[in-house]
Amino acid sequence: MAKNIRKLQSAFPKQSKEFFNVLAERLIANGFTDDRLTDAVNNVIDNFKFKELNIADIVHFDKKMKLYTYKEACKLVTEGGYEFGKDLQRISVDDKVFWTLKI
């Protein structure tokens, strides 16, 4: 978390120390993982267009992906023109196998 906070401090040097303290509290309260925070920070740095950064600009970002069962993935292949390996990536979540569209 500290690495991403420092990254934000570098990108937004006018923000106060208190801002980053409250941000850290909110990130913990919202259960942010390091990967989720990295995605949120990169999104804000890449897309922020306003004068003043708000905590919600970071906390509201949530990168989610649709998980498909094998049956659903097969339907995407047969009806949607997708290909296993090329368009669909196999992943495991809680010892269950799913497929997701590659980004």
Question: What is d(CA 94, CA 12) in angstroms, rounded to the nearest whole number?
Answer: 38
Q: Is residue 95's pLDDT more than 80? A: yes
Question: What is d(CA 13, CA 91) in angstroms, rounded to the nearest whole number?
Answer: 39
Write the burial class of residue 62 (CB in 10 Å: 0-12 exposed, 13-18 middle, 19+ buried). exposed
Residue 79 confidence (pLDDT)? 94
Residue 75 confidence (pLDDT)? 95
Question: What is d(CA 18, CA 15) in angstroms, rounded to the nearest whole number?
Answer: 8
The 10s digit of each residue's pLDDT in 36-74 is 899 999 989 998 888 788 888 888 876 677 889 999 999
**In the chain, domain spans:** 2-59, 70-101
Question: What DSSP element (H or E) covers 90?
Answer: strand 88-93
| Reported pTM | 0.59
Instruction: Compute the average pLDDT of residues 13-39.
Output: 92
User: Binning pLDDT at 50, 70 and 90, where does residue 103 land?
Assistant: low
Q: Is residue 76's pLDDT more than 90? A: yes
